Amino acid sequence: MEILKISHLQKYYGSHHVLKDINLSVDKKEVVVILGPSGCGKSTLLRCINGLESIASGEIYIDKEKIDTNFKDWQKIRQKVGMVFQSYELFDHLNVEQNLLLAPLKVQKRKKEEVLQEAMTWLEKVGLAHKLKAYPRELSGGQKQRIAIVRSLCMNPELMLFDEVTAALDPEIVREVLDVMLNLAKDGMSMLIVTHEMGFARAVADRIVFMDAGQIVEISSPQEFFTQPKTQRARKFLNLFDFRADNR
């Protein structure tokens, strides 16, 4: 069953055609990874799904709720769709507990005890229960990113969007964030992930979406994409990495 469906999505920045007739779906409990060169529209697509960018035309369906150019109720959608950015977006003046509780209490009007118990469960899963009272300035980049993921999960989203969440991290701490995402995939979380981590993409994805110049160039299984990509553009992209695409 589809949790997300995108139909003929178009996006412009002035005269620049950023997203060109995007058609894509994500099923419940499916992990779809979007790959492609910088500037191809990957992050813009995620931001359109979450209402952070307007669309020129087309429709987005989230759990069968239609979103088009006239849609206004983004607060409702953002309770269903969690998004994690590469820049963490934590509130520096709030400690971890306050960062995690803010949206569930203010937006969803839930009881503090219920949300705190849920937050502690997630913090334990990501190995950060001992940081409940810490402030963002006291955390490493990897810890901040794991807290940002937990903050989204505390809203009980049906779909998680990840936008290059390891791009700002030192290489030695990338793994701790990717492991959290791998565990979410194993637990059946529906996810749409933009990443340049090729090994992670191959390990976590049910499907790979390859984009270039604002278009979806191909959609494949990880096995097919990384061994026998369908297009010359995908083969050229993979040759920049350590994967040996079949060039025959």
CATH number of the domain where residue 116 is located: 3.40.50.300
How many C-beta neighbours within 10 Å does residue 220 have?
19
Report the pLDDT value the prediction gives residue 209, as an integer from 0 to 100.
Answer: 98
* Cα distance between residue 191 and residue 161, in whole Å: 6
Quick: pLDDT tens for 189-198.
Answer: 999 999 999 9
* Cα distance between residue 197 and residue 111, in whole Å: 38
Residue 247 lies in a domain: no
Q: Can you tell me whether residue 247 is helix, strand or coil?
A: coil
Task: Give residue 38's domain range.
Answer: 2-238
Quick: pLDDT tens for 56-69.
Answer: 999 999 988 899 88
The DSSP output letter for 95 is -
Look-up: residue for tokens 């964030």?
A: 177
Residue 122 lies in a domain: yes
Residue 246 lies in a domain: no
Global confidence as pTM: 0.92
CA end-to-end distance (rounded Å), the chain: 37
In what helix (H) or strand (E) does residue 212 lie, and over which residues does it extend? strand 207-212
Q: How many domains does the chain have?
A: 1
Look-up: residue for tokens 């178009």?
A: 10
8 Å CB contact between 91 and 103: no
Burial string for 175-206 (b: 16+ CB within 10 Å, else e) reads ebbbebbeebbeeebbbbbbbebbebbbebbe
Q: What are the average pLDDT values for consecutive 10-residue runs of the chain, which has 248 residues?
A: 95 96 97 96 95 94 89 86 89 96 93 96 95 96 94 94 90 90 94 94 96 97 95 93 51
Residue 210 lies in a domain: yes
The DSSP output letter for 38 is T
Residue 244 lies in a domain: no
8 Å CB contact between 194 and 34: yes
Residue 38 lies in a domain: yes
* Cα distance between residue 201 and residue 175, in whole Å: 13
In what helix (H) or strand (E) does residue 92 lie, and over which residues does it extend? none
Residue 100 lies in a domain: yes
Residue 245 lies in a domain: no
